[in-house]
Structure 1
Amino acid sequence: MIHPHRRRFAALATGILLVAGLSLAAPASAATAASSAAASQTPLVVNARWGGHPTFDRIVIDLQGYVPPVTVTPVAQLVYDGSGKPVPLAGKYFLEIRLNPAAAHDDAGNNVYHGPKLQKINLPKLKGIAMTGDYEGYVTFGAAFDTIPYYRAYTLHSPERFVVDISHVNR
């Protein structure tokens, strides 16, 4: 026969462990839910910038949230999404940079993108950049070059950004 004090102690200990287990589990599940919600929100494109370096030119697209899948595609001509009108950037070669899912506006329709819409640039390779679309979950940029661009594209974190490095001969 189990002594009544031991039975009370066992019940108390079981209750404490149960409560402790639930309180430890709640923050973990809450954190998981919060990270799932953050991952499901559309990332916002807030800026595009560029810079010249001794052996490469760089394009950086800054984001809030996470870096979504991005495609970088050589195209014969840059056009604005939706209208199909040509983008007035001088060049013989072009890259289209397309982020999806992404937006350059918030849920209320307010613009959150603060970078250039159309910018002539005079770097060794990069001659111009344009934001060519923010439509139905896609944000698109175009980059112009005088010669074939040999590039490397990758993601950097903290802060979140997508980078395209275009190689050139050191001048």
Structure 2
Amino acid sequence: MLHRQSLAAMAAGIVLAAGIGATIPAGASTERSGATAPPSTALVVDARWGGHATFDRLVIDIRGAMPPVTVTPASALHYDGSGQRVPLAGKYFLEIRLSPAAAHDESGRSVYQGPRLLKIYLPTLKGVALTGDFEGVVSIGAAFDTKPVYKVRTLHSPERLVIDINHPAGCRA
């Protein structure tokens, strides 16, 4: 009889523990070290740039897993949501879209530290703007005086998107 009560108590403990474990939110950390789980939606936290001898570089920093990215030439840049034209000087533009992604946290506070609208004086890259953080899509625009020839790649630990834009022939930084 005592053996049956022990087995019943053990079974009840297992069911209870399983029920408690099922109530932990999916995004919560279960580690005791204090580390938190990466965000479920990628967060775009910064955009930075630099000039090199033969190319300019634009880097977009991501917190969380790298989302799918598209980089497309555009005849003009427009703010997502409003459709208003982005006032960046240039003849050529690239639209960089990351989705699903956000530039704000779950409380709606901005986590993006990069430029909102900035003129840049590099041989190729002439401006950068955050053009949208709307409905799970973060978009950033880049402006150029000459048609950009570029390479896109992702780097990890930390996550970042890198766009290298070749300088025009004969141009030196």
Instruction: Please indicate the TM-score interval, normalised by the length of the shorter structure.
Output: 0.7 to 0.9
Give per-residue Cα distances to partners, 1:135-167, cap 9 Å, x unaligned. 111000000000100000010011110010001
Q: Secondary structure at the match of 2:102?
A: coil
Structure 2 CA distance for partners of 1:143 and 1:45, relative to 1, 3 Å: same
Give per-residue Cα distances to partners, 1:36-94, cap 9 Å, x unaligned. xx678101010000000001100000011111110000011000000000000000000
The reply on whether 1:49 has 2:48 as its aligned counterpart is: yes
Structure 2 counterparts to residues 1-171 of structure 1, below 5 A: 41-168=40-167, 169=169, 170-171=171-172
Structure 2, unpaired ranges of 5+: 1-28, 30-36
Matched residue type, 2:124: K
For 2:86 and 2:58, how far apart are their aligned partners in 1?
18
For 1:105 and 1:40, how far apart are their aligned partners in 2?
11
Matched residue type, 2:105: D
Q: Secondary structure at the match of 1:67?
A: coil
Matched residue type, 2:82: S
Matched residue type, 2:116: K
Whether the 8 Å CA contact 2:94–2:142 is kept in 1: the answer is yes
Matched residue type, 2:74: V
Flag as ranges the 4+ runs of structure 1 deviating above 4 A: none
Map of 1:21 onto structure 2: none
Map of 1:20 onto structure 2: none
For 1:88 and 1:40, how far apart are their aligned partners in 2?
32
Larger helix fraction of residues:
1
TM-score (structure 1 length as normaliser): 0.76
Whether the 8 Å CA contact 2:39–2:63 is kept in 1: the answer is no
Q: How big is the alpha-carbon RMSD for the aligned residues of Structure 1 and Structure 2? A: 1.8
Structure 2 CA distance for partners of 1:107 and 1:131, relative to 1, 3 Å: same
For 2:70 and 2:39, how far apart are their aligned partners in 1?
20
Q: What is the CA-CA distance between 1:123 and the residue it aligns to?
A: 0.5
